[in-house]
Structure 1
């Protein structure tokens, strides 16, 4: 399940897509119904990951650090959440063997969950923030 942290991060990035200049965090929060303090934490993480640039002071705010076409939904979710793995033994970054599994190589549940992880990664990694914004602009339901 997509957490609010990832959902809000994606909404903020979509809102910044196509912006004419820096946008204030408060404007992003109010327009997208995101709790302001939570958004500040999210924007800090997105900034550290190189997705947004923030500038303080007069004329400041947030802008995308690179074109929205070059930011994938998968990249954003990994930064904000970590692994896509549905179970720990399928994680590439936070692997943990299942205590109740005597033979991981023979586990059919793990095989299926590896397929789920790989398919989910493929879809999310091949969907850019720009594509998500385009869906929203066409009136398709995004969130």
Structure 2
């Protein structure tokens, strides 16, 4: 898989932060920008785009800010990546929905690279499409607990 764009990386971080807060609990752009270390102007563009795509909503007023518009259990990491960066496939000929024959390929039916890249795409899609924002938040929480327990043990060594 190709590397994720900064836009996608920042979008994921912002969505994880909103998911940790819970649906209906708004976060101010300034707080998200500071806490997630995302440039504020870039974050504003990202949140506007995510709002247009129906993933977040904004609220005005004293208790305003951005909130998840969808339960975190219903948003897969794969869907977010596709929404922002496009296909998951490392080559256009391996793409499920955006297939395009590579210019250099004499016959896609027998291209070894395409066969392998389809496997890479399928394995990647399987993981990303089965992993939700809620799953990622649980994994991060578990990693923090594990790290804290590990640090506590160091004091006794």
TM-score (norm 1): 0.90
SS in 1 for 2:38: coil
Q: Select the residue among 19, 22, 40 that pairs with 2:21.
A: 19
Deviation at 1:102, TM superposition (A): 1.0
Consecutive aligned runs of 4 or more in structure 1 exceeding 6 Å deviation: none
Deviation at 1:55, TM superposition (A): 2.2
Instruction: Name the structure 2 match of 1:106.
Output: 110
Q: In structure 1, what is the Cα distance between the partners aligned to 2:32 and 2:143? A: 20
Alignment root-mean-square deviation, CA? 1.5
SS in 2 for 1:8: helix
Deviation at 1:60, TM superposition (A): 1.7
More helix by share: 2
Contact 1:45 1:79 in 2 (8 A): no
TM-score (norm 2): 0.83
Q: Does 1:129 align with 2:138?
A: no
Contact 1:55 1:61 in 2 (8 A): yes
SS in 2 for 1:63: strand
Instruction: Name the structure 2 match of 1:6.
Output: 8
Deviation at 1:96, TM superposition (A): 2.2
After superposition, give the CA deviation of every residue in 1:66-98 in whole Å (9 maximum; x if it has no partner).
Answer: 111111101111111111010111223433211
From the CA coordinates, give the structure whose radius of gyration is larger. 2
SS in 2 for 1:138: helix
Q: In structure 2, what is the Cα distance between the partners aligned to 1:107 and 1:36? A: 45
SS in 2 for 1:54: strand
Gaps of 5+ in 1: none
Deviation at 1:56, TM superposition (A): 3.4
Q: In structure 2, what is the Cα distance between the partners aligned to 1:72 and 1:43? A: 17
Instruction: Name the structure 1 match of 2:77.
Output: 73
Question: 1:21-60 to 2 correspondence within 5 Å?
Answer: 21-60=25-64
